[in-house]
Structure 1
Amino acid sequence: MASKPRKKCDELMLLANIGPAMRADLSALGINTVSELARKDPDELYLRLSALTGCRQDPCVWDTFAAAIHQARTGEATSWWKWTPERKRRQAKGEFCNRRGK
């Protein structure tokens, strides 16, 4: 019995909060490795994805980017909703994903 060829492991899919849809978003943003993701900023990714798709993304997308970047940088997996209070704090101060007050 011939064995099937092994698929190359997609390291981004191994991150806690990355499923097929978010993986597709990262690919569209030109991010294909954990090391590339570790060098990114969640505000930058959120704004670029909104521009790329032509529509405002759900704010939870930012939460997911923040969690994935944190894991890429530190190795610590956190739930995406752990980042929601930080986003909401920034939203209340008018600092969420605007070009002036990151």
Structure 2
Amino acid sequence: MNPNKVVRENMRRLTDLPNIGKAGASDLELLGIEKPDDLMGQDPYEMYERLCVITGSKHDPCVIDVFISVTCFINGDEPMPWWAYTAERKRVQSAKQLPPKVI
């Protein structure tokens, strides 16, 4: 959903989350996340690595940005477009010196 249209009180389906459409919801379901509250306590970088393992392919790193956006949102941050988290992801990956990879 477009972050500008998100209403926190109406979070029932995964597609009610900011930046999550049908494809993103399918990715989250592959990770065992069935409802927005299931994102509480999730690590977006670990989610990305698990998704790559489950699907057997490396996904675009912007998927991490989407995962950061929804985990931040579910923990109380305002809804933001996924690309607002790109710089953060790049800083974290640079600091860890760990590019996204398939385990």
Please classify the TM superposition score into its range, dividing by the shorter chain length.
Answer: 0.7 to 0.9
What fraction of aligned residue pairs are identical, expressed as a percent?
A: 39
Equivalent residue, structure 1, for 2:21: 19
Amino acid at match of 1:41: D
Equivalent residue, structure 2, for 1:47: 49
Q: 1:84 aligns with which of 71, 83, 86?
A: 86
Q: What is the distance in 1 between the residues matched to 2:79 and 2:33?
A: 19
Amino acid at match of 2:64: W
Q: 1:28 aligns with which of 24, 27, 30?
A: 30
Name the count of aligned residue pairs. Answer: 90
Equivalent residue, structure 2, for 1:4: none
Quote how far apart the aligned CAs of 1:34 are.
1.4
Q: Please say if residues 90 and 96 of structure 1, whose CA atoms lie closer than 8 Å, have aligned partners that are also in contact.
A: no
Consecutive unaligned residues in structure 2, runs of 5 or more: 1-10
TM-score by length of 1: 0.79
Where does structure 1 differ by over 4 angstroms across 4 or more consecutive aligned residues?
95-98
Q: Helix, strand or coil for the counterpart of 1:78?
A: coil
Superposition CA RMSD, Å: 1.8
Amino acid at match of 1:77: P
Q: What is the distance in 2 between the residues matched to 1:11 and 1:83?
A: 23
TM-score by length of 2: 0.78
Equivalent residue, structure 1, for 2:76: 74
Instruction: Give the structure with higher Rg (CA).
Output: 1
Equivalent residue, structure 2, for 1:6: none
Q: What is the distance in 2 between the residues matched to 1:67 and 1:49?
A: 16
